[in-house]
Amino acid sequence: MSVTAPRGFRAAGVCAGLKPSGARDVALIVNDGPNRAAAGVFTRNRVKAAPVLWSEQVVKGGRVHAVVLNAGNANACTGPGGFADTHTTAERVAAALDDSAAEVAVCSTGLIGERLDMPKLLAGADAAVAAAARDGGLPAADAIRTTDSVAKIAFRRGSGYTIGAMAKGAGMLAPALATMLSVVTTDADLTAEQCDRMLRAATAVSFDRIDADGCLSTNDTVLLLANGASGTAPSEAEFQTLLTEVCADLAQQLIADAEGSTKSIAIEVVGAAGEDDALTVARTIARNALFKCAMFGEDPNWGRVLAAVGTTDAVFDPDQLNVAINGVWICRSGAVGDSRSKVDLKPRDVTVTVDLSAGSAAATIWTTDLTTGYVHENSAYST
């Protein structure tokens, strides 16, 4: 399914030799129209990779004909030469499609600080254009994997239209986009303005709410391409719901596959004075190394939760904090509550609920535990 589930999109995933393993590493998505409405959301890191700088400009035009993606090299921190490489890549794909590079978006992921092997990448781009087909969605999703153990895809059927999507990302997952690339396609008939507005709303409550290791990548990109091939102008409410579901589905897949993780943890903050407070508290807990180690050790250590909450400026009274882990309220009124022994931390999915007793707002951030596997993977693998 993936990005070719909607009508009017072709895709490919080919081996260009950028990954030492020899696996697929260049993906292409071609939008065959009739429309080319598009929008993008990019990393908020101020150190932006060349493909991000390029694709931001492409998306400003509101039209995307094709997206070319590579794994194995992020083309980040590569200076003007790296930007020229991205430009050259877009030109090559555009020429093959007999179009302008101004409508070709580029995404890269992999090592930071090394120049691309351009002969290999350009040959890969050529091969991808030649291979692009209606059944190329899965190979494309496979080609953008780096440390991802599985390809991530999602789709939803709407009233007369379809949304399809793929994503990659297994480390550097943090708000303001996990370190991730994602392309969402639809055959619904939407304007670029609609794409932009609805993509921002969808990512704000999905990709922006996962945080595996607090690290914000230089390359994060989410693109939405709408070609109108279904002839259906959707209800905005329905499309927004389905688009958000697709993004949330992919976000959960990223957390489930996060590097070295053994737990998928929902940090649910309730009773907050406002949503901002709830998000701040949830993110602070999600980034607390000691709490994350305790989860790995299956230790319902609510003291570390409180210690994390205490570093925020959210509205709360320390004596009114309540904490539940998997539904057991082990901290009540800032002190010892029900017995820790009632908490079962064996399953992968964990829910930590913090009640700030300060209002009625709530928010949830999804994170993972901090494990010896994470440290091993990120001390041995140069990204």
Enzyme catalytic residues: 179
Determine contact, residues 383/377, Cβ cutoff 8 Å.
Answer: no
Compose the 220-259 pattern: x for residues touching a second copy by CB under 8 A, - for all others.
----------------------------------------
Give 156's strand partners. 163
Residue selected from 57, 159, 235, 311 as contacting a second copy according to rule CB under 8 A: 311
Would you give the binding string for a second copy spanning residues 105-124, x where CB under 8 A is met? ------xxxxx---------
Judged by CB under 8 A, does residue 84 bind a second copy?
no
Among 22, 33, 47, 339, binds a second copy (CB under 8 A): 47
Q: What angle do CA 183, 56, 103 make, to 5 degrees?
A: 70
CB of 62 or CB of 214, closer to a second copy: 214
The interface region with a second copy, picked from 29-37, 158-166, 184-192, 286-294 by CB under 8 A, is 286-294
- Smallest separation, CB 285 to a second copy (Å): 11
371 is in an annotated binding site: no
Interaction of residue 308 with a second copy, rule CB under 8 A: yes
For a second copy, how many residues bind (rule: CB under 8 A)? 65
Is 346 annotated as contributing to ligand binding?
A: no
Compute the half-sphere exposure of residue 81: CA atoms within 13 Å on the CB side of its CA: 8
Near a second copy by CB under 8 A: residue from 25, 85, 213, 268: 213
Residue 210's nearest CA partner among 241, 156, 149, 169 is 169
The Cα 383–Cα 373 span in angstroms is 16
343 binds a second copy (CB under 8 A): no
Q: Are strands 66-70 and 104-108 parallel, antiparallel or unpaired?
A: parallel
| Site for a second copy contains 81 (CB under 8 A) | yes
Which residue, 276, 273, 339, 277, is CA-closest to 302? Answer: 339
Q: Is 168 annotated as a binding residue?
A: yes
Q: Tokens 């009540």 label which residue? A: 332
Q: Measured on CA atoms in the order 41, 78, 112, 67, is the torsion positive or negative?
A: positive
37-42/221-226 β-pairing: antiparallel
For the chain, the 3-state helix, strand and coil shares in percent, each to the nearest 5, are 35, 25, 40
- Per CB under 8 A, 79 contacts a second copy: yes
Q: Which is nearer to a second copy, 235 or 333 (CB)?
A: 333
Least CB distance to a second copy at residue 204 (A): 18
Cα 150 to Cα 221: distance, rounded to the nearest angstrom: 19
146 is a site residue for a second copy (CB under 8 A): no
Question: Nearest to residue 322, comparing CAs of 333, 307, 306?
Answer: 333
378 is in an annotated binding site: yes
Q: Closer to a second copy at the Cβ: 161 or 374?
A: 374
The least distance separating a second copy from the CB of residue 37, rounded to whole angstroms, comes to: 30
Three-state secondary structure string covering 132-184: CECCCHHHHHHHCCCCCCCCEEEEEECCCCEEEEEEECCCCCCCCCCCCEEEE
Of residues 203 and 322, the one with the C-beta less far from a second copy: 322
Q: Does 171 bind a second copy (CB under 8 A)?
A: yes
- Scanning 19-27, 76-84, 250-258, 263-271 for contacts with a second copy by CB under 8 A, the matching segment is 76-84
Instruction: Rule CB under 8 A: choose which of 217, 227, 322, 353 binds a second copy.
Output: 217
Residue 225 token pair: 């391409």
Q: What is the pairing mode between strands 264-272 and 361-368?
A: antiparallel
The dihedrals phi and psi of 256, each to the nearest 5 degrees, come to -65, -25
Give, rounded to a whole angstrom, the gap between the first and last alpha carbons of the chain: 29
Query: Is 146 annotated as a binding-site member?
Result: yes
Q: Which residue in 121, 279, 309, 363 binds a second copy (CB under 8 A)? A: 309
| Integer angstrom CA distances of residue 163 from 238, 345, 355, 381 | 12, 36, 36, 34
Q: How far is the CB of 380 from a second copy (least distance, A)?
A: 6
Supply the minimum distance, in Å, between the C-beta of residue 125 and a second copy: 23
> Which parts are annotated binding residues?
146, 168, 179, 259, 378, 383
Which residues of the shown chain bind a second copy in the complex (CB under 8 A)? 44-48, 74, 76-79, 81-82, 111-115, 171-172, 213-218, 287-290, 293-294, 296-297, 299, 301-304, 306-312, 316, 318-319, 321, 331, 333-336, 370-372, 374-376, 378-380, 382-383
